[in-house]
Amino acid sequence: MSLRVDKFVWFVRLAKTRSQSAEQITKGKVKLNLESVKPSKEVKVGDRISIHKNTAVFTYKILQLLDRRVGAKLVQDYVIDITPEEEVEKFKAYQLSQSIYRDNGSGKPTKKDRRNIDEFLEGW
């Protein structure tokens, strides 16, 4: 059995849609055995898929090939996550830095703040 890399990435839920999976592969964000490939490249059992997400590189080893998309609970039967711990920590640090919002009153004024300022300065 042979399977295209873009289909496999979609089948094991590493991408939301097949077109997104093909796009990521074309842009070089998904690599097969550390090599940039085309979406039509065939995968085999034992190959390693590396996916670049923001600052981290997640790595998966193919355990089995499949013929259709599987549920999230069944993905572990087909791939195993072999991502180094430091890459996971890099990704968590990036997510944490993105989730910090500015304090109220710091940075650019909101539309409401701008109206209040204009109203205050109107009589000067």
pLDDT, tens digit, for every residue of 78-106? Answer: 999 999 999 999 999 988 887 666 566 67
Structural domain including 35 reads 3-121
Tell me how many domains the chain contains: 1
**Among 2-11, 14-23, 100-109, the least confident range:** 100-109
d(CA 98, CA 101): 8
- Please list the alpha-helical segments (H only) found in the chain: 5-11, 18-26, 85-98, 111-121
57-78 pLDDT tens trace: 999 999 999 999 999 999 999 9
pLDDT value at position 103?
67
- CATH at residue 77: 3.10.290.10
Q: What is the pTM of this model?
A: 0.76
